[in-house]
Structure 1
């Protein structure tokens, strides 16, 4: 009996050892796989940066806009791919901000200049000078990355281990980590030139100031403004929760709590410190089964906007879900739709109450514009659209560009087979400025 127990224990011990060894082997194989993946990402990122440098050099010597478009498209692809690889490395990405900024902006700038070449416009000397500086920067960056790769290899550092160690003894292993090497590398990198172009990551957008004006508002006034804005028959107690200073429009965050026990919901909103305008408002109350039609929801939102002093706002597109409806309103000036001046209103379709509001676009951009008449006719604009599309009568619209400027366009609604599109033809030069597909669903309209 005792011998049998010993044999059983020995068998169990052997089985446990075998299982443990198998687990160890699996972990080793997994770690090797992860390490190979990280090394491949790092290597591919270096190759991308080197190819960015090569393509930028080619632009320096080519004189044909057609070839430039191809090269700019390659640079944009390489930039976004390198940024993706960088984002997957186990490093503190706050310490590689210069590298991330470069990859983002060089790709965005390339797409902007590609569009310019497609329009038949040659590059200006200032743009060529910027590209030359970016070429020099990318050359320096690629050399630094190659040197960093060599340091990692010589030091026997495994990138995969950094991912695991970074989750625990960060301070102890910091001097050996890839993050530290990146920080040292970035300290050696010169600042590349400020990029001003027609794109969403252009430097000038960071300096763009909202057009909102007015006196500075005290906290006591903020509470009164918040209560007056809601004014739905419920008595609220307003409390200022804090500040939003790191935004285009510094604001106070306000909480509104019903003073009676009948209502359990709360409202929150942001009120600008300049001018005392509500940037956004959200009602957290429950919404019941919808009883109002979409038309009634739009009418509710229109009445609310007029009550708040927003005149000349027309509904554009909407979406309906979960018993509520969100309507986009754009400002209209002399029968021209001004899309940058946008306000969104959310209406609960059970009782017809406004439960959401967002006016950052309007407050940032609205002013009385001096709009010159179109330089091309409706007929000339219509000729830019495919003959296979069924086109409705256009309307004039001011639309924003990616770089934060505005352009006057003819807005055509075009239908091809079962699909509907909005086509914007530049009213000054006839270029196709933008095209959006309208996805019409039961709950509303989506724009892609």
Structure 2
């Protein structure tokens, strides 16, 4: 009898322990979902706020007359445009639905920075005023659409944590019921072709970023021989660690989406689809340049399970992956964890200088350490050996540090970077920190290593830098 009671007591205790453990696991899971949802929601809200600020500042520029006031407003515009682009980068939307918004933000920031230098000795002329007015109208359109989407999200009780990747596709009806499907309407309504034409007429050569047509031309002019479809599949197989697990095919890719319109375009890249034969719902897409056979991008469309590896291991995996693919002299520029995924920017080094225009973006799944996303376009288009003289600073770090406010509490060691400002590569000392130890706002400052002039100062997400080892 006593033994039976002991057995019963043991079972009760085991059930109690299991219940306690299960409850704790549930609470931990819910806390994680809440944290992820809040992070993405803050990024989307940040985008809304910065777009609203841009509409207001552009309207103010139309009314301002004094050069000093104009300079302040224009400075605010390009800083808000930069911050809004960073917000977009933090939102987990795997589609091109925000590409037109990013294009508008880039052009707005570039034009504002150009005008800021021009208005020192006077106001803006009528031609500039017409461009500002058109930018204001476009930004108003974006602002109204995003506000509507945000209101719909609140009414629907939308939570970002419901999906690790939010995909929007007109052909996928199951996503049409989400409030984010409104971004497709925004993509169709927003057209920046006219703005692009006007800005190319007034801005210095090289300031405006690549247009889709320019990208096609650049990929067609890479060094190397043209490869066929079979060679593209072989390159895709060599790029990943477990090629034998997949079946491969070439996808026809003779159209391109430009400003919401699908047009015929002989895109100089082979698209390879690799379907995993053992794991359902895992497909990898590769874009490989037809000239030179360079892997432009990789995207592994699979669900990511619970994290089993930490952030530092993910950084090592990313570096090792690139080294196995014959990339050398690399450093982690920034790293940030999103739930069970690690997003990293890997930057080539030359003479201990980070070459930022050649950055490679990688996503590592923290469940298995797989590389689930890779974008090497900037590396392919920009990478080359820079002249040693271009990477030698005239000013020492100590001389430049005097120009940085004592209120900036550094979160990583300053270092030399080659960065691009208004289409020109400039050697800078880069400082990353926050205003106070307790402060939440973080900033990136780049000071010209030869002239001591402040080239870039902007608010950043500290999380992208705090995990860098």
Q: Deviations over 1:70-129 (max 9, x none)?
A: 6967999xxxxxxxxxxxxxxxxxxxxxxxx999968853431314666xxx79xxxx9x
Whether 1:409 and 2:431 are equivalent positions in the alignment is no
Q: Is the 8 A contact 1:112 1:199 kept in 2?
A: no
Distance of aligned partners of 1:379 and 1:243 in 2 relative to their CA distance in 1, 3 Å threshold: same
Q: For the residues of structure 2 that align with 1:233 and 1:344, how far apart are their CA atoms? A: 22
Q: Secondary structure in 1 aligned to 2:238?
A: helix
Q: Is the 8 A contact 1:320 1:444 kept in 2?
A: no
Distance of aligned partners of 1:446 and 1:112 in 2 relative to their CA distance in 1, 3 Å threshold: farther
Distance of aligned partners of 1:110 and 1:206 in 2 relative to their CA distance in 1, 3 Å threshold: farther
Shift in Å, 1:199 = 8.5
Whether 1:435 and 2:457 are equivalent positions in the alignment is yes
**Structure 2 counterpart of 1:395:** 415
1:377 to 396, 402, 405: 396
Q: Which structure 2 residues correspond to residues 301-380 of structure 1 after superposition, within 5 A?
A: 301-370=318-387, 371-380=390-399
Q: Secondary structure in 2 aligned to 1:114?
A: helix
Q: Which structure 2 residues correspond to residues 65-104 of structure 1 after superposition, within 5 A?
A: 66=68, 69=71
Aligned pairs, number: 312
**Structure 1 counterpart of 2:295:** 278
Q: For the residues of structure 2 that align with 1:204 and 1:429, how far apart are their CA atoms? A: 32
Q: Secondary structure in 2 aligned to 1:194?
A: helix
**TM-score normalised according to structure 1 size:** 0.57
Q: Is the 8 A contact 2:245 2:278 kept in 1?
A: no
**TM-score normalised according to structure 2 size:** 0.55
Q: For the residues of structure 2 that align with 1:73 and 1:320, how far apart are their CA atoms? A: 31
Q: For the residues of structure 2 that align with 1:390 and 1:307, how far apart are their CA atoms? A: 37
1:196 to 203, 226, 231: 203
**Structure 1 counterpart of 2:313:** 296
**Structure 1 counterpart of 2:4:** none
**Structure 1 counterpart of 2:285:** 268
Distance of aligned partners of 1:203 and 1:324 in 2 relative to their CA distance in 1, 3 Å threshold: closer
1:423 to 445, 449, 466: 445
Q: Is the 8 A contact 1:381 1:410 kept in 2?
A: yes
Q: Is the 8 A contact 1:440 1:446 kept in 2?
A: no
Shift in Å, 1:334 = 0.7
Q: Which structure 2 residues correspond to residues 103-142 of structure 1 after superposition, within 5 A?
A: 108-115=110-117, 134=127
Distance of aligned partners of 1:245 and 1:364 in 2 relative to their CA distance in 1, 3 Å threshold: farther
Unaligned runs of 5+ in 1: 1-44, 77-100, 142-185
Shift in Å, 1:66 = 4.4
Distance of aligned partners of 1:135 and 1:215 in 2 relative to their CA distance in 1, 3 Å threshold: same
Distance of aligned partners of 1:337 and 1:444 in 2 relative to their CA distance in 1, 3 Å threshold: closer
**Structure 1 counterpart of 2:247:** 237
Larger Rg computed on CA atoms? 1
Q: Which structure 2 residues correspond to residues 135-150 of structure 1 after superposition, within 5 A?
A: none
Distance of aligned partners of 1:191 and 1:232 in 2 relative to their CA distance in 1, 3 Å threshold: closer
